[in-house]
């Protein structure tokens, strides 16, 4: 890595300060640094940070999933990571390292509702809530039809 350009040490310091606060995806860090350097400088800095082990999309995805998996389904987690510029392979790895989606769905449903829907209106309300959290329609339907069997699948 070449630090001969006058702006490069300041840019590197800024990037390291951001990374020290929390994990960042490569795309997220590039976006934040865009106002402070030339595109070529930023790309070479990001390459150097990745080579030195300071920047990792895989580590970012794992951190992101660990922080949010207890509240969200795989679809939503994957979508949010895609929006943050994380590649599909890192997303897949991060989702594979977490608790099963069925178990998370059951926990979220239990804490929010706790009892099966009594009528169609309640069924639709519960299903919408869980869909907004990023769970698949098939898993939601299975859970709402028979919460006891969904519990067996979760374990």
Unique residue bearing structure tokens 């389904």: 73
Query: Residue 34 falls within a domain, yes or no?
Result: yes
Q: Which domain holds residue 39?
A: 7-55
Residues 31, 50: one domain?
yes
* In the predicted structure, residue 154 carries a pLDDT above the cut 70: no
- 8 A C-beta contact, residue 58 and residue 94: yes
Query: Residue 82 falls within a domain, yes or no?
Result: yes
Note the pLDDT of residue 148: 72
* In the predicted structure, residue 94 carries a pLDDT above the cut 50: yes
- 8 A C-beta contact, residue 105 and residue 140: yes
Residue 150's pLDDT band, with cuts at 50, 70 and 90, is low
How does pLDDT run across 49-74, given as a tens digit for each residue?
999 999 999 999 999 999 999 999 99
Residue 20 sits in a domain whose CATH number is 1.10.10.10
- 8 A C-beta contact, residue 131 and residue 137: yes
Note the pLDDT of residue 125: 97
Query: Residue 129 falls within a domain, yes or no?
Result: yes
- For residue 5, how many other CB atoms are within 10 A of its CB? 15
Residues 120, 88: one domain?
no
Residues 115, 86: one domain?
no
Query: Residue 115 falls within a domain, yes or no?
Result: yes
Residues 111, 72: one domain?
no
Residues 106, 148: one domain?
yes
Residues 125, 141: one domain?
yes
Query: Residue 2 falls within a domain, yes or no?
Result: no
Note the pLDDT of residue 27: 96
Domains identified in the chain, total number: 3
* In the predicted structure, residue 25 carries a pLDDT above the cut 60: yes
Reported pTM: 0.83
| Tokens describing residue 5 | 């350009």
Query: Residue 29 falls within a domain, yes or no?
Result: yes
Note the pLDDT of residue 149: 67
DSSP string covering 20-64: HHS---HHHHHHHHGGGS-HHHHHHHHHHHHHTTS--HHHHHHHH
């Amino acid at each position: 890595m070449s630090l001969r350009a006058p702006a490069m040490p300041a840019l590197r310091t800024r990037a390291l300060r951001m990374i020290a606060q929390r994990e960042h995806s490569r795309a997220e860090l590039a976006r934040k640094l865009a106002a402070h350097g030339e595109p070529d400088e930023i790309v070479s800095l990001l390459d150097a940070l990745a080579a030195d082990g300071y920047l990792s999309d895989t580590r970012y995805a794992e951190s992101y999933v660990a922080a949010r998996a207890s509240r969200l389904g795989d679809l939503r987690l994957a979508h949010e990571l895609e929006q943050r510029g994380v590649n599909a392979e890192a997303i897949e790895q991060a989702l594979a390292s977490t608790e099963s989606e069925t178990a998370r769905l059951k926990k979220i449903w239990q804490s929010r509702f706790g009892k099966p829907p009594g009528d169609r209106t309640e069924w639709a309300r519960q299903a919408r809530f869980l869909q907004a959290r990023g769970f698949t329609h098939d898993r939601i339907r299975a859970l709402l039809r028979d919460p006891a069997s969904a519990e067996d699948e979760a374990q």
